[in-house]
Amino acid sequence: MLPIPHPALRATFCHKGEKEEFGTRFAKSLLLPQGEKVRQGMRGGPQALTLWPTPTLGPSLKEEGDDGAKTLCSPSETAMTADTNTSMASTETPAKDRPRPVGLTSRQREALAGYLFLAPDFLGLLIFVGLPMLLALAIGFFDVNGFGTFNFVGLANYLRMAGDPLFWQCMRVTLSYVVMLVPGLYLSGLGLALLVQRTNRFNTVMRALFFTPQMVSVVVIAVIWQFFSGDKIGLAARLFTSLGMPGVSILGSPSLALFTVVFVSVWFLMGFYMLIFLGGLQDIPQQYYEAARIDGATPRQSFWHITLPLLRPTSFFVLLVSLVAAVAGSQAFDLVYVMTKGGPANSTQMMIIYIYQQAFQYSAFGYAAAMASILVVVLLALTGVLFLLTRGGRFDFE
């Protein structure tokens, strides 16, 4: 029995080849994940279907029998509410000959509804995020002392940045942090998800436990790990002493502090990424694994050739989000600031902490805004690379 497709898809099925209005396309692209394939558990093996009307759509439906298409689009079906009288266009008079109905078509109303639902969130983002971002970009060209004076200085802040050794130190620290954190989160998230993939009681408990750090305030986490990593009497110090390495200070040595901070960040965030990967793993149909097993594939081959490729959208999302989190996330600032305040000797001085200090402790708002603008540009560049490599986050599966 064919499942009744999503109402938005009905338009696609029933208007093969007809050009859709832009509004409906846009609404669909917003309402349904762009590029995401809708998998329908059809008989004969999973067939991935694209949302965009393509000629290939017809044959896969027609395989079920011609009555399939007619059943979906036939106006006589009382179980479905027909879209508008244009849905009958394929069976009655051509659309361009019929008199246009007054007011908006149903599809246009759908589109309008979509926009209206998005409007509050979009307005909020525009007013509270977009506008301040533009203002901060503008402030970067001024000398602002935080007490009311604004002096236009052009590129002076950017030149100062170029000659500021601490700025380059922060850049190095931030990039090291990103390079260690993003793969760390990816691997630990994926690893944990694979471990607790099967749904049984034990795994459910473990999933909750892995996620628990996320439910605790990041400041509390920072303080607790500060105790753990304390000198001489902290857990880590005692461990090292028992291993024959006394005097190791994992948070007080400039060479080790960043690793400690990365470790705590990964510990804090891995539950969240585990959940995302779990979702992605559960999306993969079991038939693939069964088919592979029948063909004699080892678990490792299954993982490499089935799991990983089909996890690409999830991986993309995880990499993107963890990249942004590594540079500007709450754990990048709060955790590091509470644990080390950017020390020892600027070895954990993240860019975001330096920006904060320049703005709120040294009252150099213009300089801080200029640095923040550079940070945004770097982030945009990195995420742009990610998007480019994945062609806009679209993943085609055969």
Q: Which residues bind other proteins (CB under 8 A)?
A: 75, 81-85, 88, 106, 109, 113, 116, 120, 144-149, 166, 226, 229-234, 247, 249, 251-254, 340-347, 356, 359-365
What sign for the dihedral angle of Cα 292, 295, 300, 304?
Answer: negative
**Shortest spacing between CB 379 and other proteins, in angstroms:** 22
Residue 136 tokens, joined: 């901060």
How many other β-carbons are positioned within 10 Å of the β-carbon of residue 179? Answer: 12
Angle at CA of residue 106, ends 103 and 110, nearest 5°: 110
* Residue corresponding to tokens 């080790």: 256
Q: Which residue number, 55 or 148, has a Cβ lying nearer to other proteins?
A: 148
Give whichever of 46 and 75 is closer to other proteins, judged by the CB atom. 75
Structural contact between residues 376 and 133, judged by C-beta atoms closer than 8 angstroms: yes
- Taking the C-alpha atoms of residue 125 and residue 103, their distance in angstroms, rounded to an integer, is 31
Between 70 and 232, CB nearer to other proteins: 232
Nearest approach in angstroms of CB 158 to other proteins is 17
Of 203 and 357, CB closest to other proteins: 357
Nearer to other proteins, 125 or 205 (CB): 125
Nearer to other proteins, 91 or 212 (CB): 91
* Residue 148 vs 296, nearer CB to other proteins: 148
Distances (CA, A) of 53 to 24, 127, 177: 12, 36, 44
The string of DSSP codes covering 341-393 is TT-STTTT--HHHHHHIIIIIS--HHHHHHHHHHHHHHHHHHHHHHHHHTTTT
- The residue type found at 341 is K
Q: How many helices (H) and strands (E) does the chain have?
A: 20, 4
Cα–chain center distance at 43: 33
182 touches 267 (CB < 8 A)? no
C-beta closer to other proteins: residue 253 or 302: 253
To other proteins, the closest distance from the beta carbon of 202 in angstroms equals: 38
- CA–CA dist 359, 353 (Å, integer): 10
Q: Which helix (H) or strand (E) holds 144?
A: strand 142-144
Nearest approach, Cβ of residue 52 and other proteins (Å): 24
Instruction: Give the integer Cα–Cα distance in Å for 263 and 283.
Output: 30
Provide the residue type at 286 as one letter: Q
Query: Least CB distance from residue 355 to other proteins, whole Å?
Result: 12
Q: How far is the CB of 73 from other proteins (least distance, A)?
A: 13
Which residue has 């509050």 as its token pair? 120
Task: Return the number of the residue (246 or 384) whose C-beta is nearest other proteins.
Answer: 246
| Interatomic CA distance for residues 347 and 258, integer angstroms | 7
Question: Measured from the CB of residue 215, what is the shortest distance to other proteins in angstroms?
Answer: 24
Query: Least distance from C-beta 397 to other proteins, angstroms?
Result: 33
Least distance to other proteins, CB of residue 198, Å: 38
